[in-house]
Structure 1
């Protein structure tokens, strides 16, 4: 029997489903893994941080579905495709960030960002689809960003990867529709995660301002709601897209940006 959802959450029953979440050791990925496990899904948690995955698995022991740790570096694309086999739900979340002007951006880092954030999702989707198609049901949720819809200076690799992920998601939606498979993006603004916390120092250096001014003057400048998004808020959107109520939602982007893109 699926455990009751915490107060303020939508009732989503994923009992009997297997979900894979990348970047699951912290931040949005951790919140998604816990939320889907609470809904009854058996979660494969993928991250290169093995210790973080073990902590997550211990935390999830009391959930309805539970979490299995799968330590993996997503630059190993063959392994990424293999780990996705047999999954009913795929949450492509893993990401990394470097803030530099294009002329100073290390090409090797650009390559790594595109590998982890675009090519790996392609391989994971490729690995998951045969099972999804075979059973006539599947959910692909790609954790994109407001930067999948808008650009910002000094983030060439991240913006390029997220824009590419949007296109990949829409293509998967068109191909998956006849097979009962949906594919959508979730597009948060700045989320309270270690990735964003690391940006404070990088952005301070790139813009030549003190770190304490970065949150208000850079990160939240274009947001009508002047706060960071919480990981649990993103996880709730992901869970909703996996629910029966969202079966007609596909090929779209669910924006959680505090009004950023309303400008």
Structure 2
């Protein structure tokens, strides 16, 4: 484990979809940056057993972001243990890809519920804990598919575009009355996760050929972007979308 710095000093952080992939990288980055506590949340925390023990400031929390009772229990727990939340990272998301004439209503509903409604419900549950001290940072993981679309991803594009629209509204809403509660998005491009590792190499080669920097991004690239938007280094940034895609969308 690397020596922590002070970017997240005294911060209480919550990350969804945290057991593996981007969520793991984000949780580890916040922990290394000195967060007092990182609540790493996922509907299945089993994959986190391989890494979470390396970070005494990370707490595993099993959570369905679409379950209001579970969200209420998590909010109550954090309030009792720390009295506030400083950083919320909405990372949980799924895909159910299909061309429009093949996409089922259940595919649409499931993706919209997890990717969009889940972000709404998680933020709604954590916002009162930020309002207790009128300060905080909400970082939601969107996608370049949410800004530019993609074939066979009508549901995913709609959900990720919806996150951007909600975030822009939240940036205005949450700053009323002098509050310093910021809301921003990150839009990743092609990132080297378990999902992309399952893609045939010839398809990955085509992906790389489209990226000006010539390679897939790594989870740490997204984690560093989250760390910036979560910290005081971005204190004057809100309502923005940070694309981390190697120049894929220009």
When the two structures are superposed, what TM-score results if normalisation uses the length of structure 1?
Answer: 0.85
Cα distance in structure 2, aligned partners of 1:163 and 1:89: 22
**CA distance in 1 between partners of 2:226 and 2:107 (Å):** 28
Deviations 1:181-225 (A, max 9, x none): 010001111111113334x2xxxxxxxxxx3321122x3453212
Aligned to 1:8: none
Runs of 5+ unmatched residues, structure 2: 77-83
Spell out, residue by residue over 1:47-98, the C-alpha distance to the aligned partner (whole angstroms, 9 max, x if none).
Answer: 122212333321323xxxx111111233324423542464211000011112
Matched, 1:69 2:63: no
Shift, 1:24, TM fit: 0.5
Alignment of 1:1-263 (within 5 A): 4-5=3-4, 12-41=6-35, 42-61=37-56, 66-80=57-71, 82-84=73-75, 86-178=84-176, 179-198=179-198, 200=199, 211-217=200-206, 219-262=207-250
Q: Which runs of 4+ in 1 moved over 4 A?
A: none
Q: Note the alpha carbon deviations across 1:145-188, whole angstroms, 9 max, x for none.
A: 11121101011111111000001111111111231101000111
In the other structure, the counterpart of 2:79 is: none
Could you report, residue by residue, the CA deviation over 1:114-165 in whole angstroms, capped at 9, with x for unpaired residues?
A: 1111101111111111121220211100111111211010111111110000
Q: Is the 8 A contact 1:81 1:126 kept in 2?
A: no
Q: In structure 1, list runs of 5 or more residues that go unmatched.
A: 6-10, 201-210
Q: Call closer, same or farther: CA 1:186–1:150 in 2, change over 3 Å.
A: same
RMSD, matched Cα: 1.8
CA contact 1:45–1:69 (8 Å) conserved in 2? yes
Query: Partners in 2 of 1:12 and 1:215 — Cα distance?
Result: 37
* Secondary structure, counterpart of 1:87 in structure 2: coil
Secondary structure of the residue aligned to 1:261 is coil
Alignment size in residue pairs: 239
Q: Tell me, what secondary structure is at the counterpart of 1:104?
A: coil
